[in-house]
Amino acid sequence: MNPMHVFFIHAFVIVLILWLMFGFICGLATAPNNDMSPQIKTSDLLLYYRLDKHPKAQDVVIVYINDTRYVGRNADNVLMVLSFLIAGITILYSGYVLYDVFYTNKSAFTSFDMLQYKKQIEQRNTSSSSYWYEQGGFDALLKLNPDVVGWVEIEDTNINYPILQGDDDLEYASKDFKGEGSISGSIYLSASNDGDFGDYYNIVYGHHMANGAMFGDIEKFMDEDYFFSHQKGTLQTPTTNYNLHVFACVFTDAYDSMIYGIKEGTFDSHPELMQYIKDNATQLDVDYLEGYTPEKVTAFSTCGNAVTNGRIVIFADTTPVDWWADTGSDTEENIVRQAMGHILANGNKHWALLNLICVILTFLVLLPIFRIKKKYRQRSYSKEKIDEIDTYTEWLENGGGKVSDLVESIYKNLQNFLVRMTVGVVLEIYLVIAAVIAFLLTENITMPMIMSDKWTWLMVLIFGLAIVADMVCFRFYGKHPYMIEDILKDFAEKYNRGEDYNAKQPATV
């Protein structure tokens, strides 16, 4: 199925889930006043459950009377946690779907990780002669996967891939060049052909990716201008190098026995194949074939999107290049091949989604998107209350009074809270830095994604420490300042009027 079709199907399912969740099961509202303060303040976002017709004490109740919405009471914590958990899972799944579509399309293109294994050929000149120099070869590729049989490149297209050969024609339709599972598969030689391209007629298959990756560009050969401007290419094998010249493009179906029937022998035994190509070609280089018969033909086949079983095939004259190649030596060329990644991630074949989630969550502990103001407003609130208590204490002592144990206890709690918040900010910053560094050192995001790996415990530990730091340092423990709000309010009124302390002041608690 086309990746974009998969994306839209997943997107529709996600929208449907969200619509059902927030349209029929849950709802969102804002608190209209401070009647439920300090737990809920004006404009706080409330999440409520629509299906419960028998609300209990402390539930948030949303009532519609004459099209006017009324909000009252506090929300049930279990319901809120459950609802946010469901919403979080939905968001994570949405992100995974988007990533999956992006990675599938991105990984189908030739990457540096792949190209660094390609054999490089260049012409070198000396004072007395000129020769072709061959660097690299197939040794490194064959160590990665012994099923590698060649490398094909069509100039000025996205076709630039190693060629694999499996036990059948389905194996590498779902494996990459390293032999690992991949939706985009690989470019692969028919299992009916000899692995050394020794047959007269060879068929190479590849998926038709909508973004032009793999054999997605083959469809463009049906256009005359594109066909005649993209005929050159090369085919490298461990033993021989070939030049390619595309001379025909045919639109057919998957059951075409003439094209997809591999027969033994030479061209002399199968003149009907060339005649069949000429008779059915969508594009044909007549001038190239005039008076000339290719000694070796390679067909490159992919799917045609317009028809279910449609196939688009280009045919290339495959001529060996008669050059002398020097493979070089370790002292002359020091080739180092290394997969793209990071220090500890070298060799990793995957990266873990849970590890990335832990990094994001650790960051959100430091800077909670919807609670940044509320979290850090506590600092200014605490300083404000400390200043009020200082002024109140001075006013009392000047009048011969003494602060109560409750006020003194709250004062100390506020001072300790300020210190803990400062320590908490520093700790959480360090933990975010540690999470980012750990992820960069241990994960290779150019590789396919898995849910967890051997480093997940470390990322979970860092996130857990951030949660503990937040709970310890940003939660006010002990007697809360709102317990003396009346005392401070009465004091502020007298202080503003310039009154002195007297026996009629509010009794200390």
In a domain, 372, yes or no: yes
pLDDT tens digits for range 437-448? 999 888 877 666
Same domain, 153 and 297: yes
Check residue 102 and give its pLDDT: 63
Write down the pTM of the prediction: 0.51
pLDDT tens digits for range 335-351? 444 433 333 444 556 78
Same domain, 286 and 155: yes
Query: Which residue range is the domain that position 453 belongs to?
Result: 351-497
- pLDDT at residue 186 is higher than 80: yes
- pLDDT at residue 143 is higher than 60: yes
Check residue 401 and give its pLDDT: 77
Banded pLDDT at 427 (limits 50, 70, 90): very high
Same domain, 379 and 488: yes
pLDDT average, residue stretch 344-365: 77
- pLDDT at residue 269 is higher than 60: no
pLDDT > 90: what percent of the chain?
A: 27
**Bridge partners (DSSP) listed for residue 187:** 163
Same domain, 374 and 296: no
pLDDT > 70: what percent of the chain?
A: 65
324-330, long-range: CB < 8 A, 24+ apart: 324/131, 324/132, 325/121, 325/132, 325/133, 325/134, 325/241, 326/131, 326/132, 326/133, 326/134, 327/134, 327/135, 327/137, 328/133, 328/134, 328/135
**More confident call, 353 vs 26:** 353
In a domain, 115, yes or no: no
How many structural domains compose the chain? 3
Q: Please, what is the Cα angle at 428 between 424 and 433, to 5 degrees?
A: 155
Comparing C-alpha atoms, which of 267, 321, 313 is closest to residue 294?
A: 267
In a domain, 506, yes or no: no
Check residue 321 and give its pLDDT: 84
In a domain, 503, yes or no: no
Domain end call among 326, 360, 376: 326
Same domain, 79 and 140: no
pLDDT tens digits for range 62-118? 555 556 655 555 444 555 555 666 666 776 666 666 666 666 566 656 555 666 677
Asked whether the CA dihedral 412, 416, 417, 422 is positive or negative, the reply is positive
pLDDT average, residue stretch 309-334: 67
Domain end call among 52, 73, 107: 107
Most confident of 30-39, 234-243, 259-268: 234-243
Same domain, 307 and 366: no
Lowest model confidence (mean pLDDT) among 39-48, 69-78, 140-149, 473-482: 69-78
Banded pLDDT at 187 (limits 50, 70, 90): very high
Instruction: DSSP for 430-493, please give it.
Output: HHHHHHHHHHHHH--TTSPEES--TTHHHHHHHHHHHHHHHHHHSS--SS-GGGGHHHHHHHHH
Banded pLDDT at 323 (limits 50, 70, 90): low
Check residue 498 and give its pLDDT: 73
Same domain, 192 and 160: yes
CB of 490 closer than 8 Å to CB of 497: no
In a domain, 265, yes or no: yes
Tell me how long the chain is. Answer: 509
Cα–Cα distance for residue pair 301/207, rounded to 1 Å: 9
Lowest model confidence (mean pLDDT) among 9-18, 176-185, 414-423, 436-445: 9-18
Same domain, 317 and 169: yes
- 311: domain CATH number is 2.40.260.10
Check residue 348 and give its pLDDT: 57
Mean confidence (pLDDT) of the chain: 77
Check residue 128 and give its pLDDT: 65
CB of 189 closer than 8 Å to CB of 134: no
Check residue 508 and give its pLDDT: 47
State how beta strands 241-253 and 232-236 pair: antiparallel
pLDDT average, residue stretch 418-428: 93
pLDDT average, residue stretch 295-300: 92
3-state secondary structure of 203: strand
Same domain, 245 and 101: no
Same domain, 356 and 301: no
Same domain, 163 and 69: no
Intra-chain end-to-end CA distance of the chain, in Å: 73
In a domain, 343, yes or no: no
- Among the residues of 254-344, which ranges form H helices? 257-260, 271-280, 286-289
Tell me the two tokens of residue 212.
């032009």
**More confident call, 69 vs 362:** 362
In a domain, 467, yes or no: yes
In a domain, 429, yes or no: yes
Lowest model confidence (mean pLDDT) among 92-106, 130-144, 303-317, 427-441: 92-106
Check residue 72 and give its pLDDT: 55
Same domain, 220 and 289: yes
Instruction: Count other Cβ atoms within 10 Å, centred on residue 140.
Output: 15
Cα–Cα distance for residue pair 315/438, rounded to 1 Å: 50
